Structure 1
Amino acid sequence: MYNSLSYKSKQFFWLIIKLSIVIGCGFFIWQRLTSNSEFHFFDFYQNLIKNNVFSTKNMLFLLISTFLNWFLEITKWETLASLCVKTSKKNATIQSLASLTTSLITPNRIGEYGAKAVYFDKSFRKQIVGLNLVGNFYQMIMTLFFGIIGFGYFVYNHNVSIDYHRVLRFLLLGIFIISAFFFGAKHFNYKGYSAEKARTFINRIPLKLNIKVAMISLLRFVVFSHQFYFLLLLFKIDISYLDAISAITTVYFISSIVPMLSLFDVVLKGTVAIWVFSFFNVEPLLILSVTTLMWIFNFVFPAIIGSYFVLTFKPNFVK
């Protein structure tokens, strides 16, 4: 009798969690689209009509680029997860999209780590979290690499005023924190986690797999940055390819180093993009329209699909 009640309690508990994730995700998406003081949905819609965004050709390109972006992300996760447990493309898709939905309401998408881990047996979960961290690390490296180049080009060509003393203090603080982490981690051991175990785990990842994950991350960056460029062209923004790419990489670079709740990512990127593209005399509404479309296609649509996978997820005790 007790076991039966416990089982039903767990089922009810998981149902509440899943519904909370999906409802919370939907609510915050709606809030982001309707409550921005600088962004009016009616003006945004009129902009889409005016620039023929809903034409078959344009929608096809946007959908294909979104599909390619997520196909690469799913392939990357399939490659990494299979190092631990053989994972099919189907399972990698479910795990990636469900974790996206879950992560949108968490700072810096940290919920993604736990969401992917629950799909695996308890004995593999630490490794899954580590592999997910590796995948995100390579994506961040690509963003920083191209971002630094683009930002350097942008600053050099547009005489951007920078407080170099503040930047230097920021860099020194970053170096101090990283150094303290690496030196302190040597003696860190908490509930089975230690620097030595982390190094052993990282060393187990084959060089070939590291290269493959890095290349997939590079392709993803190329895909979504050029989707952004396509939208600039779609909204008839007069800007050269080189200036556009430097501005786009600068937007992603600055956005990536600012911790924020993922659902506010569209606000952050919109704010940064308005500042960056102001040097090219681009209207704020046009840039907000571009960043909002990027968010809708690459986060909102996949998160809606992921909501289904969240609701249909069954933890081990009910399988």
Structure 2
Amino acid sequence: MYNSLSYKSKQFFWLLIKLTIVFGCGFFIWKRLATNSEFHFPDFYQNLIKNDLFSIKNIFFLFIFTFLNWFLEITKWETLASFCIKTSKKNAAIQSFASLTTSLITPNRIGEYGAKALYFDKSFRKQIVGLNLIGNFYQMTITLVFGVIGFSYFAYKHNISVDYDKMSQFVLVGIVIFLVLFLFVKYFNSKNNFIKKIQVFIYKIPLKTNFKVVLISLLRFVVFSHQFYFLLKIFKVDISYIDAISAITSVYFISSIIPMLSVFDVILKGTVAIWVFSFFTIEPLVVLSVTTIMWIFNFVFPAIIGSYFVLTFKPSFVK
């Protein structure tokens, strides 16, 4: 009798958590679209109609970009997760979409780590969190590398006052700290069991796997940055390819280093993009339209798919 009640209590508890995640995600998405003080839906919609965004050709290419973006993300996670236990692309897709939905209402998408780990046996969960961290680290590194290059060109061309001495010192200190931590974890002969486990874990990941994840991260960056560029062309923005790419990489660079709830990402990127593209005298409405469409295609639509997987997810005790 007691075990039966306990089992039902756990079922109810998990159902409550799943409903909270899904409704919370839906509420925050609606909130961002409906109550953004800088975003007026009637103007946004008229701007889309005016620029023929809903044409079959434009919608087709936007979905192709989104498909490629998420295909690469799923492939990256399949590659990483398979290091622990062989994972199919279907399972990797389910885990990726469900974790996205969960992460939207957590700071810096931290909920993604726990959500993916729950799909695996308890003995693999710490490794799964570590692998997810490695995947995100490579994606962030690609964004920062191209962001620094793009922002440097952007700042130089528009005579933006940047203290390059301090910036180079900051970057150098960051690199030194990272190398010290990496070498410490990899080579330091510690008696600490936790550090030993991390060392063993890092050593076990093949160089081929690391290289593949870096390459996929690079391709993802190329895909979503060019989706942004494609949208600029749809809205007939008069800007050269080099200027556009430098501005786009600058937007992602600046917004990626600011901690924020993922669901507010559209506001952050919109604000940063308005400032960056103001140097090219591009209307704020156009910039907000582009960042909003990017958010809808790459986060809202996948989060809707993920909501289904969150609701159908069954923890091990109810399987």
Alignment match, 2:117: 117
Alignment match, 2:47: 47
Alignment match, 1:102: 102
In 2, are the aligned partners of 1:73 and 1:220 still within 8 Å (CA)?
yes
After alignment, is 14-23 or 144-153 more displaced?
144-153
In 2, are the aligned partners of 1:187 and 1:195 still within 8 Å (CA)?
no
1:172 shift after superposition: 8.0
| CA distance in 2 between partners of 1:172 and 1:212 (Å) | 27
1:197 shift after superposition: 2.0
The C-alpha deviation readout for 1:25-56, integer Å capped at 9, x for no partner, is: 00000011011111111111111111000000
TM, length-normalised to structure 2: 0.94
Alignment match, 1:225: 225
Alignment match, 2:274: 274
| CA distance in 1 between partners of 2:111 and 2:48 (Å) | 33
1:195 shift after superposition: 2.9
| Structure 1: gaps of 5 or more residues | none
The alignment covers a number of residue pairs equal to: 317
1:161 shift after superposition: 2.0
1:298 shift after superposition: 0.2
| CA distance in 2 between partners of 1:168 and 1:211 (Å) | 27
Structure 1 residue identity aligned to 2:232? L
TM, length-normalised to structure 1: 0.94
Alignment match, 1:91: 91
The yes-or-no answer on 1:294 pairing with 2:294 is yes
* Secondary structure of the corresponding residue to residue 39 of structure 1: coil
The C-alpha deviation readout for 1:204-239, integer Å capped at 9, x for no partner, is: 100111111111111100000000000000001100
| CA distance in 1 between partners of 2:190 and 2:47 (Å) | 54
| CA distance in 2 between partners of 1:21 and 1:99 (Å) | 10
| CA distance in 2 between partners of 1:10 and 1:41 (Å) | 42
Compared CA separation, residues 163 and 184, structure 1 to 2 (3 A) = same
Alignment match, 1:38: 38
Compared CA separation, residues 218 and 164, structure 1 to 2 (3 A) = closer
Alignment match, 1:213: 213
| CA distance in 1 between partners of 2:274 and 2:55 (Å) | 26
Alignment match, 1:68: 68
| CA distance in 1 between partners of 2:256 and 2:190 (Å) | 28
* Secondary structure of the corresponding residue to residue 220 of structure 1: helix
1:309 shift after superposition: 0.2
1:60 shift after superposition: 0.3
| Structure 2: gaps of 5 or more residues | none
The yes-or-no answer on 1:234 pairing with 2:234 is yes
The yes-or-no answer on 1:150 pairing with 2:168 is no
Alignment match, 2:253: 253
Alignment match, 1:303: 303
1:199 shift after superposition: 2.3
> What's the C-alpha RMSD, in Å, of the aligned pairs?
2.1
